Homo-oligomer: A and B are copies of this chain.
Amino acid sequence: MVAFNHNAISQGEIPGVQTRQRRSRLIDFVRVRGFASLDDLVRELGVSESTIRRDLDALEEQGTARRTHGGVLYAGGHARLSEFDERQPAHWAAKRAIAAAAAERIDDGETVLLDGGTTTYEVARLLVGRSIQVVTNSLPVANLFASESRADLVLLGGYVSPRTGVCLGPYANELLGRLHVTTTVLSAAGITAEGLYNAHLLLAETEQAMLRAAGRVFVVADSSKFGRKSLTFVSGLDSIDLLVSDTGLSAEWRQQIKAAGVDLVVVDPAPLEPLDGDHDSHRDDRTKPPRERHT
């Protein structure tokens, strides 16, 4: 009939059974949705706004949820990798533009091997929803495709590097030795006339295995990477088929890349200066819906 509350303990802070169960349902709801407004929760749980507010206060103090003006975020277990956090947004613009150029050169039905790194991550984001097979050693990339039934996903195993979230080690290399993919998209920490360099010893080996597994090799690297060496040598320029970079790349480098027999694509991250005059590459397929004006 009416609410029964069998709470026997009067320790002050311990909530009763009903309360606990409702809060449990609440965080489950928020966990699934990622975000919920106060009103959503009132409707979902069938209690008053006041009660929801009290629940949120308790859950926030407990650390499970995070309140915002007008709603809640799920705060439990959302880990973020430092590599993706610390970058300054300026470079992201170049990375995105480079990624777009690389992604549009990948066809449906291909098997694509995606390296770790922020630029390849952007490539991966643009490939979500496409009908392709994806092979990767990167946890963030794998997450993008994990719930996509459109794409098949193969993940390389091994030891996971905490900072970058990529799988390393002999096991990953071994698995790579048995795979063949149509296109590999590789990142690099440094590029010189000799070839690609990377900052991680184990990763270099893995990337070499990636090169061997590939039909064709794309390298995505913004212009700041050129002329810089890094810890270990990965590969010569001759194993690269296509290199995508941004307009910050000097004329000398462009020539040198082309001289090595590598196809070079240079993209303009944000047409700030009329360097090449053409900034009309923006297709406006979005017809503006006539916004209703409120009187």
Interface residues of A (CB under 8 A from B): 1-3, 6-9, 11-14, 17-18, 20-22, 24-25, 28-29, 31-32, 34-35, 37, 46-47, 66, 68-71, 73, 76-82, 84-85, 87, 89-90, 92-93, 96, 125, 128, 139, 142-149, 152-160, 162, 165, 167, 171-172, 175, 270-273, 275, 279-284, 286-291, 293
Contact A160 B149 (CB under 8 A): no
The 4 closest A-B pairs by CB, nearest first: A12-B288, A157-B157, A69-B70, A28-B89
In whole angstroms, how far apart are the Cα atoms of A266 and B223 in the complex?
Answer: 60
Q: Looking at the complex, which one of B80, B171, B272, B279 makes contact with A157 (CB distance below 8 Å)?
A: B171
Q: Looking at the complex, which one of B78, B81, B152, B162 makes contact with A159 (CB distance below 8 Å)?
A: B152
15 cross-chain CB contacts under 8 A: A8-B272, A9-B290, A12-B289, A12-B291, A24-B89, A24-B93, A25-B90, A29-B89, A34-B78, A77-B144, A79-B143, A79-B148, A153-B162, A154-B159, A154-B160
Residues of chain B within 8 A (CB-CB) of A76 are: 125
18 new A-B contacts at CB < 8 Å, known A14-B284, A32-B84, A139-B155 = A2-B281, A8-B293, A12-B291, A17-B275, A25-B90, A69-B71, A76-B125, A77-B144, A79-B144, A79-B146, A81-B147, A139-B142, A139-B143, A143-B143, A154-B159, A155-B155, A157-B167, A157-B175
Contact B286 A92 (CB under 8 A): no
Q: In whole Å, how far is A2's beta carbon from the nearest beta carbon of chain B?
A: 6
The residue on B at minimum CB distance from A85 is B32
